Structure 1
Amino acid sequence: MHRNTPSPGAIPIPGGRKIPHVGGDLPAGDALPRRDVLRPAPRYERRRRALGLLAAMLCAALLLVCLLLWSDDDDPKDLHSSTLAGVRRTHGPVCLDLAVDYSGSMRSKAATRDAALAELQSFIQRNLRPEDVLASVAFTDSALLTLPPTQKSRLTGSAVSSGGPPDGSGTELEPALESLQRAYRQSRIECAAHALIVVTDVELADPPSALAARFTEMRLQRVYWAIPGRGDGSSPGIAGAPALRSVIARGFKDARGLSLLYGRALALLTGQRLVKA
């Protein structure tokens, strides 16, 4: 029987094909495996891997820079130059309540409080619907309703009273919450989403469990402590009580910071984003 033998100058490999051998004949049986013939040179392989890794690192760095630039460009610096972006997800009126501490320890924040409120009213006129609601109450150990629940269509620049309750012997939030509840019952306004922001140094005499129960009765989706001078958002006084752990503590240093807190609360209520206009 005739057997196929490799011709001189060729390298037999599996499959019956032949690869010319430049350097002359190889001894019989020394056929090269296919993987050895097709394997890249080690130096080329290292270079290819290094270039691939470098390209991946450059792409990641470029993406990070783009994200940082986009985030910084989109982040609002003040409420005056901000707007609500995206499709509104809440159907029906959104209600924002302000409970403002007028006790002696908060007297130095009066100008900050008033400037932030003016920014909020302007923002509401630009961004909310006619049926959306703002309410405000001032408190010490008693309460004074400075703005009953008022729809945007009826809100004017002078709608909020600048007065407050007389100084008392302590500071209690519950009378303010009771005043708000009563006002909403009288107005017959039904809120689709409802938030409360308490502007205070949180040196309150109320039992935490009583406040927690009242927040539940009011059907509030969010409650915030807006604490002056607390840039880190830490929770002093009653704000650290276990019964009130669902209340979100946010610090502010000036009217810009306080008004931005108001804007972010409204964005959460509507289901939109607060961005630069």
Structure 2
Amino acid sequence: MTQPQYGLRRSVFSRTAIGRVPYAVPPPYVMPRWLRRLLLALLALLLLLLCLVSCREARKPESLSGSTLTGARKVAGPVCLEEAVDLSGSMVAYTEQRERAERELFAFAKRELSPTDRLSQAFFASDGRVTLKPSTLQSLSTVPPPPEDLGGGTSLTPAVAGLIAARGSDPADCAARALILITDGLIGDEPGLIDAAIRAGGYTRIYAVAPAGATGAGRGNLSGGLLDSITVYGFHDGGTFGRVASVLGDARPLDVIFGDILADLTGQQLTKSGTDPDDAQ
């Protein structure tokens, strides 16, 4: 015998068209006027910021070959650069870039600098060695290659001491003398030793030039005592990363940084060739 089936049944009223609620299309979203004005203001601010950044980037020199020193030179005697180059493992990858920038520097020196402006160079790792005694920048087209047997550490003190000792063969009386460190800042010197070595150098300025984006790039361990007075630059090698580094960190090509340093020492401005100096501010 078949059992009766029981179940819930909807009322006749709910099953008729008259008992159904018709579907209503929701009204379209209308953005409040204050929110529209805020978004438009933010968009206008963003466009203005992009315009300012674009103008600023356009005024930056892109290479020394397209740059010049403008304004009167404010030092009466030679400008002397003493360059200490980090040969630790983290810096080997930048050797070709540094050598290319130095060749640009020598070409720049022949047309922009005094015949008495000078460069000397040392390399350092566990030990330091002078490879270029003080020489006029205009006489150089290349520099000796880096030594290969300086060990695997990063000790700046021997290089600074060597650069100071190399002055004995140089009759020039420098009006401005700069120590330029090509390093990522990860040096291992004892603070007292490096401070004493730099103090003995009597430097007018000290600069550290570090690869933008490298591990430890920037000031790194270059702090304490006289190291706090170091001016730090970041350099890039062009491309998309270079443009980003230029905008976010004011990084520049390495040869342009050499030009910035020379301008700082001579009291001039480094500008694009054909650019009004007042527009480069």
User: Is the TM value for this pair above 0.5?
Assistant: yes
Matched residue, 2:114: 129
Change (3 A) 1:217 1:109: same
Contact 1:100 1:137 in 2 (8 A): yes
C-alpha distance in structure 2 between counterparts of 1:214 and 1:123, whole Å: 31
Change (3 A) 1:180 1:242: closer
C-alpha distance in structure 1 between counterparts of 2:176 and 2:225, whole Å: 25
Matched residue, 2:154: 171
Encode CA deviations 1:129-183: one digit per residue, 9 max, x unaligned: 1111111111112222221100235x2313x101324141411111111111111
Matched residue, 1:261: 257
Contact 2:84 2:123 in 1 (8 A): yes
CA RMSD of aligned residues (A): 2.7
Contact 2:184 2:218 in 1 (8 A): no
Change (3 A) 1:213 1:230: farther
C-alpha distance in structure 1 between counterparts of 2:193 and 2:164, whole Å: 15
Q: Does 1:90 align with 2:75?
A: yes
Change (3 A) 1:76 1:201: same
TM-score of the superposed pair, with normalisation by structure 2 = 0.68
Encode CA deviations 1:9-56: one digit per residue, 9 max, x unaligned: xxxxxxxxxxxxxxxxxxxxxxxxxxxxxxxxxxxxxxxxxxxxxxxx
Q: Does 1:273 align with 2:269?
A: yes
Change (3 A) 1:249 1:69: closer
Say which of 196, 199, 208 aligns to 1:225.
208
Does the residue aligned with 2:158 lie in a helix, a strand or coil?
A: helix
Q: Does 1:138 align with 2:128?
A: no
Contact 2:76 2:175 in 1 (8 A): yes
C-alpha distance in structure 2 between counterparts of 1:244 and 1:275, whole Å: 29
Matched residue, 2:43: none
Q: CA deviation at 1:209?
A: 2.9
Encode CA deviations 1:164-204: one digit per residue, 9 max, x unaligned: 24141411111111111111122232210011110012221
Does the residue aligned with 1:164 lie in a helix, a strand or coil?
A: coil
C-alpha distance in structure 1 between counterparts of 2:225 and 2:130, whole Å: 29
C-alpha distance in structure 2 between counterparts of 1:223 and 1:187, whole Å: 20
Contact 1:83 1:274 in 2 (8 A): yes
Matched residue, 2:222: 239
TM-score of the superposed pair, with normalisation by structure 1 = 0.68
C-alpha distance in structure 2 between counterparts of 1:169 and 1:162, whole Å: 18
Q: Which amino acid aligns with 1:189?
A: A
Can you give the 5+ residue segments of structure 1 that lack an aligned partner in the other structure? 1-66
Does the residue aligned with 2:270 lie in a helix, a strand or coil?
A: strand
Q: Does 1:200 align with 2:196?
A: no
The percentage of aligned residue pairs carrying the same residue is 35
Q: CA deviation at 1:230?
A: 4.2
C-alpha distance in structure 2 between counterparts of 1:243 and 1:93, whole Å: 24
C-alpha distance in structure 1 between counterparts of 2:60 and 2:184, whole Å: 27
Can you give the 5+ residue segments of structure 2 that lack an aligned partner in the other structure? 1-51, 239-251, 274-281
Contact 1:82 1:276 in 2 (8 A): yes
C-alpha distance in structure 2 between counterparts of 1:234 and 1:111, whole Å: 20
C-alpha distance in structure 2 between counterparts of 1:114 and 1:144, whole Å: 17
Does the residue aligned with 2:206 lie in a helix, a strand or coil?
A: strand
Does the residue aligned with 1:184 lie in a helix, a strand or coil?
A: helix
Matched residue, 1:112: 97
Larger Rg: 1
Say how many residue pairs are matched.
Answer: 211
Say which of 193, 196, 205 aligns to 1:213.
196
Contact 2:89 2:152 in 1 (8 A): no
Say which of 79, 85, 109 aligns to 1:100.
85
